[in-house]
Each structure stands twice: as structure tokens, then as C-alpha cells.
Structure 1
């Protein structure tokens, strides 16, 4: 574990604490049980961490570079976010990121990118659903968040992640292009060609799989995820 990983771990720990403080600042006066809330977020965070860290649950697509892999850690975050609100979903993503940072093979570049894009994806969908809690809200949330996430993924990869990878890992642009071109011969540059022919279809396929599985899982267990309101005592 590098010094950079320690620093990133500390930053994300404070981020997780901050998300809980923000949640209870705005929603602390509701009838929800804070202890139960934290416990359930922790449970979903643990599941998300397993899906994110354990290689068995990740797989790659044949037409994208090997550093892009499909993983389903967003599913527990979606389920938690739909049940308890967008802040809890993002908190789940923060937990799995903290768990993954010590095992990072990219100096935490990939983990930061995953956290940013997953937060946009999960946060947007669960926020829309929180305002329209029905099947139409689910569909609208998934549709809008998918387009926003894919667009952000394209821009973030082209203008931030790839340049940051090259700088942090001391990789020459032609060497990076060689890795991309080996996976997909149609990729001829490390910017828009890579973005349009790898990032966009990769995220589209990943989002479709996540949406389908999340919908099935949430519809199956959502009745068990509701908070039990506190009983009002008579004066």
C-alpha cells in the first residue's frame, strides 16, 4: 500500500463521514432510526465492496482495453438509494471505494473515476425516484441518469482520466494507444476515437445490465427495506 493510497484512504474516510453528517443534518428530524439507517447502509456497502474488489465478480468486454471492466457494485448502491434516498446510495459507493483503495493498481486513479461516475449515475436516478416514487419514476430516473452518466464518462475519460493516467503512471501516449488498439483496432487515438468506440458502448452495456439486475432485485426485496415508523406515545 503506497503513501498515496493512505492519503486517498483518509480523504475518502472523511468523505464518508461528511455524507452521513449531511444526511442527518437535513433528515435527522424524521421518524427514521439513525442506527438502523447506518447499519443498513453498512450492509449494502459491504455487498458493494465484495462485488467491486473480488475479481470473480468482474469481467471484461472483448472490444475495450483491459483497464475497463464490468462490475456490479452499483447495484447495492441503487437498491439502498431507492429505499433510503440518494445520500445513502452515494454513502454505499464511498464505502466500497474506501475498501478498494488499499488494493488499487492504478494509484487510485481508476477508483476516483469510478466513484465520480457511479455517484452521478446512482445519485441522479435515486434523486428522481425520491420525487416520483412509482414505476414511472424508476424508468425516468434510469433513463436520465444513464444518458448523463455516459456523457460524463465520455468527457471525464477524454479530458481527465486518460491524461491523468498518462501523467501518474508515466505512460507514453503511443504505448497507451497500443493497448487500446490491441483490444479494438478501430481505435486510432487516445481521445475521441477511444471515447466513442470504447467508453460509450462499454458504459451503455454496463448500464443496461445494472438496470435490469437492479430492477429485478429491488422489486423482489423492496418491501423488506422499509423503515418501521416509531410508534407515537399517547400523552
Structure 2
């Protein structure tokens, strides 16, 4: 017979797996934003990971992000996709971990709101730094195009983008901040309905 701790562990693994697959499937529903170039699209796959971080703990949320991105790399199977998913995991992992840690210390509605707001700021900062110093230069080198090419793509849809720094400031920053707000806003009502099931 399984002990209580083993049953709990098994249940947690099953719940984590289900949320990971759900997150992976949601990744395929992407939305372009009016102020960013076509290659930047919002997906809401962080929602299951955030729900997992709140109900199962911050580490579980990070694991869900990891499994989600591993599944996507397995499907895409390219160097470009792998680098993108690694960055996606890093940024998404920071988001759900920060929110999960804060909520774990204050398991109230206020704690959840504060956790998601702080997590959104942390994710936005991490994504901006990552794009500025690594991702954009990497893709520019990979495709044999100057960084200015990405700036031009951004300036076509956003009049405030005039150089590389403004591309990050008026493209990457609001993109990730808005994504965090969207994910948080949808998670709030969903978590109330799903939480009783996940805590069984």
C-alpha cells in the first residue's frame, strides 16, 4: 500500500503533468499586438503554470514551465526554437516563481495580487535584459542581419521605436508587462474554480 506521503507525491506529479500538457497546448494560440513586430506574439501558456505555483508551490510552477518548453522543443526540434524556448522558460520561470513565493507567504487574495504584480515587473525586467544583451543579438547573428533590421520592423508598427534602446523600451517592455497583466487577470477567476480540484 502507498503511504500518505507517496500518495501526495503521486497526486502532485499527476497534477503537474496535466497542467504542463495544458500549458503546452495553449502555447499554440498566439496573438500579435498592435505595437510590436510580427515575430512577437503573446500566448497565455503561463496561466496553468501560475495556477500550479499557487496551488502546488512555486517549484511546481517552474517545473510546469520547464516541461511545457521541453515539449515544444521536441516538436520544433531546431536550434532557433531551442534558444527561444530556453529564454521562454527563463522568463516564464521567474514570473511564476516570484508570484508563487509571495503567495505562499500570504495565501490571501491580496497576496495573490501583490505576487502577480511583482512577478510581472520581475518578468518584464528579465525579458528586457535578456533581449537587449542576448536574444536580439543572437538572432541577428543567426540570420546574418544587423540589429537595426529588428529596429526597423518595430518602427513600422510603433512610432516610438527609433533605435535599439527604444525598441526595448517601447516594444519589449510593454509587451511583457501587458502579457503579465493579461495572464494575471485571467488566472484570478480561473484559480477560484480550479483550486478546489487541485487541493483534493
Report the TM-score, using the length of structure 2 for normalisation. 0.90
Q: Which has the higher helix share?
A: 2
Aligned length: 195
Alpha-carbon separation, structure 2, partners of 1:220 and 1:137: 18
Instruction: Check whether the contact 1:121–1:146 (CA below 8 A) recurs between aligned residues.
Output: yes
Alpha-carbon separation, structure 2, partners of 1:173 and 1:140: 36
Which residue number corresponds to residue 39 of structure 2? Answer: 67
Match runs of 1:110-189 below 5 Å: 110-189=84-163
Structure 1 unpaired stretches of 5+ = 1-28, 228-235
Match runs of 1:80-119 below 5 Å: 80-101=52-73, 102-103=75-76, 106-119=80-93
TM-align CA RMSD: 1.8
Match runs of 1:45-64 below 5 Å: 45-52=20-27, 54=28, 57-64=29-36
Superposed CA deviations along residues 138-196 of structure 1, whole A, max 9, x for unmatched, are 01111211111111222111112111211233222232222222232331222x11111
Alpha-carbon separation, structure 2, partners of 1:201 and 1:174: 20
Which structure has the greater CA radius of gyration? 1
Alpha-carbon separation, structure 1, partners of 2:182 and 2:191: 14
Alpha-carbon separation, structure 2, partners of 1:187 and 1:175: 12
Instruction: Check whether the contact 1:109–1:165 (CA below 8 A) recurs between aligned residues.
Output: no
Structure 2 unpaired stretches of 5+ = none
Report the TM-score, using the length of structure 1 for normalisation. 0.77
Structure 1 runs of 4+ aligned residues shifted over 6 Å read none
